[in-house]
Structure 1
């Protein structure tokens, strides 16, 4: 069957046995960026979406579009209402990158706690600056956003001896209780945590979630990690809190604009670890995401409804 897939996710279909599976299917796969996507939309049947937005204009230029499949979890860059109005189902890959993101969060906590980046820099620059760090075991980790990723991080952190707190108005209290994780209001979580890790969805409801007032509530010397979306954490406020010495460090994996504008003073701070939105970039996570997407395309081609559909009303409108 001749099928045309277009993807704006550079990593889609590259991990594990995915290249072989794609080759066996015989589908046409076109890789593009936000800049050249429009040139391919006329022939696009399935759009595997990375970070570039899927808008009303995108849909209008894609008359053959039969599905939008998010290569990841966050749907804040996809206009779900517009897709539903066009009877275009949207899917994502929940849970596929949970282990990868949770492990990166833990790596950041260890790196910040033991001054690994500063230690590396002093050696490579000819110095010998031995800095006193702190142990991770016994520290308190506050997780804001207790979905699949947040709860995965909680389990791994607890196994390492951290005390774990969570904040999420949509969390399942029974699940949290079974894991031994207290659900707290955000001000209380911020005040008690040595490390705060952000794992909320992006969008208007979480934009500016952590700003000057929230950072001021954090414990002196605490650290904060943003593995969610760039707009969740106010970089001006973070830079001020780090410069004043109120916070000891931060790790940032997501940015409002990607790649980010490095003229912001935060990028000159020696207290911050930066990564290029790499939370889900492990071979295991990419393989799981890719197979989920190919399975969902096969279901759509067979006239079915993928279980990971996030806008089921798109099917109702077809009747």
Structure 2
């Protein structure tokens, strides 16, 4: 049977991983030692230097990248567990070539946390919540004027597992909901009360545009300068999917020029966001540090499954293996 002796838990920024699951099944049951990293390790050289001794890693979604060149320099690694059912930051094929088993977890399949985060950002941007909170704490009083959502149009880019419940909340607010994606089934949209529209119409007529696409070669840079130029001066863009789906340079330009009303962003092209990132001073924005899936319930399920993955691997019967 494969032994698991040294386990590392990565990117536990909030110091909650060890309290979120029964890790004693790994320490006491398997006799393994667990080391938890509470900071982002950095680039490839830093990752290799920190993780070379470990034979099992538990990584939080896409916070740390494991391309082929990193995996090849971790000769002791035999098990790589990612929270969630997939992880675009892991070269799974390279892991398999190196004899590394890659397993996933549950915890994000119903998408509730990201749906709720999307609406937190929409409401925060439209009603200027962070700005007014800051002003009140500094001794001031109301200064901005928000907007009603009822009667306005919500444009959903990607009507899938997250886009549909986001659309349903918009309908509950009394919004007119429209959707577009390259592979949108118009009948599927109409069946849930959503109007299928062209790309041009969605960006030109929506008061709120929200992005719900998976990052892929085809979706990288999907929302570009032309799309943003079609948006009205009061419209806002919200992205809780992946930063590179939106042309970040074009979005910054639009915000600085005042050609769109604002943006709510939970994701960025580089994460964690560098200290000198221009996003930190971008106007008319509400920014959050990739909180979409960060809830205690989600973490409990993810880390409990990670414990189970380690136990199953040690027993010679891996579960939830990711295919190349």
TM range (shorter): 0.7 to 0.9
- Aligned counterpart in structure 1 of residue 58 of structure 2, from 44, 48, 59: 48
Compare 175-184 and 233-242 and name the one that shifted more: 175-184
1:22 corresponds to: 23
| Offset, 1:210 | 1.9
2:41 corresponds to: 34
1:291 corresponds to: 304
After superposition, residues 249-288 of structure 1 pair within 5 angstroms as 249-261=262-274, 263-288=276-301
| Offset, 1:172 | 6.9
| Offset, 1:73 | 5.8
Q: What SS class does the counterpart of residue 237 from structure 2 fall into?
A: strand
Distance in 2 between the 1:22 and 1:44 partners?
16
1:191 corresponds to: 204
| Offset, 1:96 | 4.8
- Aligned counterpart in structure 2 of residue 226 of structure 1, from 225, 232, 239: 239
Distance in 2 between the 1:60 and 1:280 partners?
30
| Offset, 1:11 | 5.2
- Aligned counterpart in structure 1 of residue 95 of structure 2, from 83, 92, 103: 83
Q: Deviations over 1:37-64 (max 9, x none)?
A: 3245444333222311102122222334
Task: Tell me, yes or no, if the aligned pair for 1:97 and 1:280 is still in contact at 8 Å.
Answer: no
Distance in 2 between the 1:142 and 1:232 partners?
16
| Offset, 1:300 | 3.2
Distance in 2 between the 1:301 and 1:206 partners?
38
TM-score by length of 1: 0.82
Task: Tell me, yes or no, if the aligned pair for 1:165 and 1:182 is still in contact at 8 Å.
Answer: yes
- Decide whether aligned partners of structure 1 residues 302 and 191 sit closer, same or farther in structure 2, where only a CA change above 3 A counts: farther
- Aligned counterpart in structure 2 of residue 62 of structure 1, from 51, 74, 78: 74
| Offset, 1:2 | 4.5
Q: Deviations over 1:184-203 (max 9, x none)?
A: 44333222321112232335
- Decide whether aligned partners of structure 1 residues 157 and 284 sit closer, same or farther in structure 2, where only a CA change above 3 A counts: farther
Distance in 2 between the 1:12 and 1:296 partners?
22
Q: Deviations over 1:300-319 (max 9, x none)?
A: 33444534x331x5xxxxxx
Distance in 2 between the 1:303 and 1:182 partners?
50
2:260 corresponds to: 247
Q: Deviations over 1:96-144 (max 9, x none)?
A: 5722221111011111111222222332333334332111233322222
- Aligned counterpart in structure 2 of residue 235 of structure 1, from 244, 248, 261: 248
| Offset, 1:74 | 6.0
Distance in 2 between the 1:173 and 1:289 partners?
35
Q: What SS class does the counterpart of residue 208 from structure 1 fall into?
A: coil
Q: CA RMSD in A?
A: 3.0
Distance in 1 between the 2:13 and 2:163 partners?
23
1:210 corresponds to: 223
Compare 110-119 and 77-86 and name the one that shifted more: 77-86
Distance in 1 between the 2:184 and 2:315 partners?
35
Task: Tell me, yes or no, if the aligned pair for 1:201 and 1:229 is still in contact at 8 Å.
Answer: yes
- Decide whether aligned partners of structure 1 residues 124 and 41 sit closer, same or farther in structure 2, where only a CA change above 3 A counts: closer
Task: Tell me, yes or no, if the aligned pair for 2:243 and 2:269 is still in contact at 8 Å.
Answer: yes
- Decide whether aligned partners of structure 1 residues 5 and 124 sit closer, same or farther in structure 2, where only a CA change above 3 A counts: same
